[in-house]
Amino acid sequence: MNINIEKLDVLTQELKTTLKEGLLASDIFDRSTGLSLSGYNPQPTAAALFTEVTNVLTGTLADSGFPGLKRYYLVDMENDHSVMVIRHGNDLLQGILMNSQKVNLGILLSVALPKMLAGVEKART
């Protein structure tokens, strides 16, 4: 996999600017190794956890005859936390941990998500 890490770092900073104090952590990581390529307040344990969750979810959907997982899923958690996991193709995942009281869902879905999807695609060389 060829990817421009500097472009990923710029995207991570843009995400921080977009989500402001609502962003608690973010990692863009290799799905096969769990290795973080770019991050803000990196969470290696979360990268491993959400790699496993994504693999189970993808397999379960396929086995059940439901449509497959496309670009992302969002988990609403206790204590005003939420996580968005973005699939950047089959090789990269991105986890975004947020304070759900401080992040506007409309901004997340209509601004941050499209920027991340397009930006990671452009970072591939």
Q: How many CB atoms lie within 10 A of CB 106?
A: 8
Q: Measure the CA–CA gap between 33 and 118, rounded to whole angstroms.
A: 23
Residue ranges with strand state E in the chain: 23-30, 36-40, 72-77, 81-88, 92-99
Task: State the helix-helix crossing angle for 113-123 and 5-19, rounded to 10 degrees.
Answer: 170
pLDDT at 33: 86
Question: Please, what are the averages of pLDDT over each run of 10 residues along the chain (125 residues)?
Answer: 92 97 97 91 93 95 95 97 96 97 96 97 92
Give the pLDDT of residue 51. 93
CA distances from 46 to 51, 64, 97, 124 (A): 8, 26, 9, 24
The pLDDT of residue 125 is: 77
pTM of the complete model: 0.94
Closest CA to 96 of 34, 63, 53, 47: 47
